[in-house]
C-alpha cells in the first residue's frame, strides 16, 4: 500500500482506546450540532493540546460545517472537515447553499482542483 494514513477519531472518554502514536497519523473528532456553524474551537483546542504537537487534527465528521469566518477568527485550524452525506449536504437546516459557496470560495480552504496530483 502507498500513501496510507491512519486516522483515529476520538470521542469523549475514549482515551483508553488510543492505539498509540506509532499507529496513528492524524487525530479526528466527530461533531454534530445542527445549525451550529461555529469553529468548534473548544474541541479543536482540547485535541490540539493533547495531540497537536505530534499529530494533525481533523473534523472527521460533522453535520453543520463551520463557517470559514469563524475558523479564521478563532484559529481553529482543522486540517479538514467532512460533513456526513444526504440531508447534511443538501438541506439548508444543516448547511445553506450560500455557506457552501462561501466556504469553497475562501482562500483559507483548499479544494481538489487546487491540489497537486498524487498519482505522479
Domain annotation covers residue 2 = no
> How confident is the model at residue 80, as a pLDDT?
94
- Name the range with the highest mean pLDDT among 53-57, 67-71, 90-94: 67-71
Domain annotation covers residue 60 = yes
Asked if residue 78 has pLDDT above 90, the reply is yes
State pTM to two decimals: 0.87
Average pLDDT (69-82) is 96
SS (H, E, C) the chain: CCCCCCEEECCCCCHHHCCCCCCCCEEEEEECCCCCCCCCHHHHHHHHHHHHCCCEEEEEEECCCCCHHHHHHHCCCCCCEEECCCHHHHCCCCCCHHHHHHHHHCCCCCCHHHCCCCCC
Average pLDDT (21-41) is 95
Domain annotation covers residue 119 = no
Domain annotation covers residue 49 = yes
Q: Which of 29-38, 49-58, 73-82 has the lowest mean pLDDT?
A: 49-58
Domain annotation covers residue 35 = yes
Domain range spanning residue 93?
Answer: 7-114
Task: Give the span between the Cα atoms of 92 and 96, in whole angstroms.
Answer: 4
Domain annotation covers residue 85 = yes
Domain annotation covers residue 1 = no
Number of domains in the chain: 1
Amino acid at each position: 500500500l502507498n500513501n496510507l494514513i491512519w486516522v483515529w477519531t476520538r470521542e469523549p472518554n475514549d482515551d483508553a482506546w488510543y492505539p498509540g502514536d506509532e499507529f496513528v497519523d492524524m487525530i479526528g473528532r466527530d461533531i454534530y450540532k445542527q445549525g451550529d456553524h461555529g469553529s468548534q474551537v473548544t474541541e479543536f483546542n482540547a485535541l490540539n493540546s493533547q495531540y497537536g504537537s505530534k499529530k494533525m487534527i481533523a473534523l472527521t465528521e460533522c453535520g453543520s460545517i463551520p463557517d470559514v469566518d469563524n475558523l479564521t477568527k478563532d484559529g481553529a485550524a482543522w486540517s479538514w472537515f467532512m460533513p456526513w452525506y444526504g440531508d447534511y449536504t443538501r438541506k439548508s437546516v444543516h448547511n445553506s447553499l450560500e455557506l457552501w459557496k462561501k466556504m469553497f470560495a475562501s482562500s483559507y480552504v483548499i479544494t481538489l482542483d487546487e491540489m497537486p496530483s498524487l498519482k505522479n
